[in-house]
Structures are given as C-alpha cells and as structure tokens.
Amino acid sequence: MVTTESVLKAVGEVKATKKRNFLQTIDLVVNLRNLDMNKPENRIDQEVLLPSGRGKSVKIALFADGELAHQAKKVVDTVIEKDAVSDIAKDKKVGKKLAREHSFFLSQTDMMALIGKSLGPVLGPRGKMPKPVPPSIDIKPLVDRLRRTVRIRTKDRLTFHLPVGTEEMSDDDLAKNVAAVINSLETKLGGSTHNIRSVLIKKSMGPCVKVEGV
C-alpha cells in the first residue's frame, strides 16, 4: 500500500538529485502487471485533476468560429477558425506540430465532424481529439480545469509516465498530486494496487526513485 510518508520520502530524494539550468518537470512512472493490454477493456485512458496544479502552464487550443472564438482568444493559447482547418489538414507537418505543442484541444460542437474528418488521423492516435463544447459556453472554467489536468493513457503498454508538477513545487503539493493519480488508477483497477508492479518518481533528466509500498 502506498502511503503519504512513502511518497514524501521519494519526492524528497528526487528533488535532492542534480539540478539543471532549466525548470525540470517531476514525472510519475507507473509499471503495471497481469493485464493483457491487447484487450481494449484493460487499456487506461482517463484524466486526473491534480489538486496542486501542474506547476507550469500547458497550451490549450480551441477550434471555433464567431463569438466563441472571439471570447476564447483571451483564455486559450490558440484559436483555430473553421477556414484554417483545411489548410492545416493539407500539411501533415503543421498538424503534427500543432498536436505536439498543445496538451488539450477543444472544439465548438458543430465543428467536430470537420475536425474528425480533416485532423482525426493526426490528433486521434495521439489521444488529442478535441472535447466538444457548445458555442454559448463560458469556456474559462473548463480551460482552468484542463490546465490542472493530466492524462493517463496506456495504449498497448504496461508502462506509462506523466507529469505531476515541477521541482519548484513543495514536497506536500507534489505528494498530493502523486496520490491523486494513484487513487484514480486504483479506482480504475478495481480498488487495489494488485495490478501495479511499481511506482517511481523522477525529474525530467534524473534517476528514478521507487515509491515504497507497491
């Protein structure tokens, strides 16, 4: 069983490792076991709200027209209007760059079919198909939530990693984020850690430290 003490101990050891001349992300690495990942029902694809936030901003893009596009320019990082979608679809490099640079995508509901047809081959395999939003929505609360969200996505592998903060965050805040991910994973796996082989924490460029108790 993973305890707060074991997580805090691992976080402290990770933060004590070598500093670099840039702000490093703190990553969580989870190794699963006894799951046949060839079966779609065993694959995990879920979002987790980090109670302490991610420690740095992530980029969010919105496909929209009209008033929603106008209002969203103050809230999201990139607004892509309908006329621009076909141009992006014509150049795979542009589409891939767009997907790489943004963590989450949103789309006005009446543009979803167009996005699926034009950019689905680029966004779909990367798990970045946009979330539909009505044109009348106040988009700020949703965007604020996404900026504190990470995604667990295993595909066909038993190992996944995701960011849980940065080295500038306090040990307590990082531990809360780690706990949120593990709790969400346990719920998905039936309420236990039986299918979790190990949990490790690391900096972007640093060694892994095992969280004891798994």
Domain boundaries, the chain: 4-55+148-210, 60-146
Q: List helix spans (H) across the chain.
A: 4-15, 66-72, 82-90, 92-101, 112-123, 140-146, 171-188
pLDDT value at residue 18: 86
The alpha-carbon radius of gyration of the chain (Å, integer) is 19
Question: pLDDT by residue (tens digit) across 109-121?
Answer: 999 999 999 999 9
Q: Do domains 4-55+148-210 and 60-146 have the same CATH topology?
A: no
pLDDT in the model for residue 193: 77
Q: For residue 155, is pLDDT > 90?
A: no
User: Over pLDDT 70: what percentage of the chain?
Assistant: 100
Question: What backbone torsions phi and psi does residue 59 show, to the nearest 5 degrees?
Answer: -90, 140
Q: Which CATH class is domain 4-55+148-210?
A: alpha beta
The string of pLDDT tens digits covering residues 93-102 is 999 999 999 9
**Distances in whole angstroms, Cα of residue 54 to Cα of each of 1, 50, 130, 144, 148:** 25, 7, 20, 11, 6
Q: What is the pLDDT of residue 1?
A: 67
Domain at 60-146: CATH code: 3.40.50.790
pTM, 2 dp: 0.89
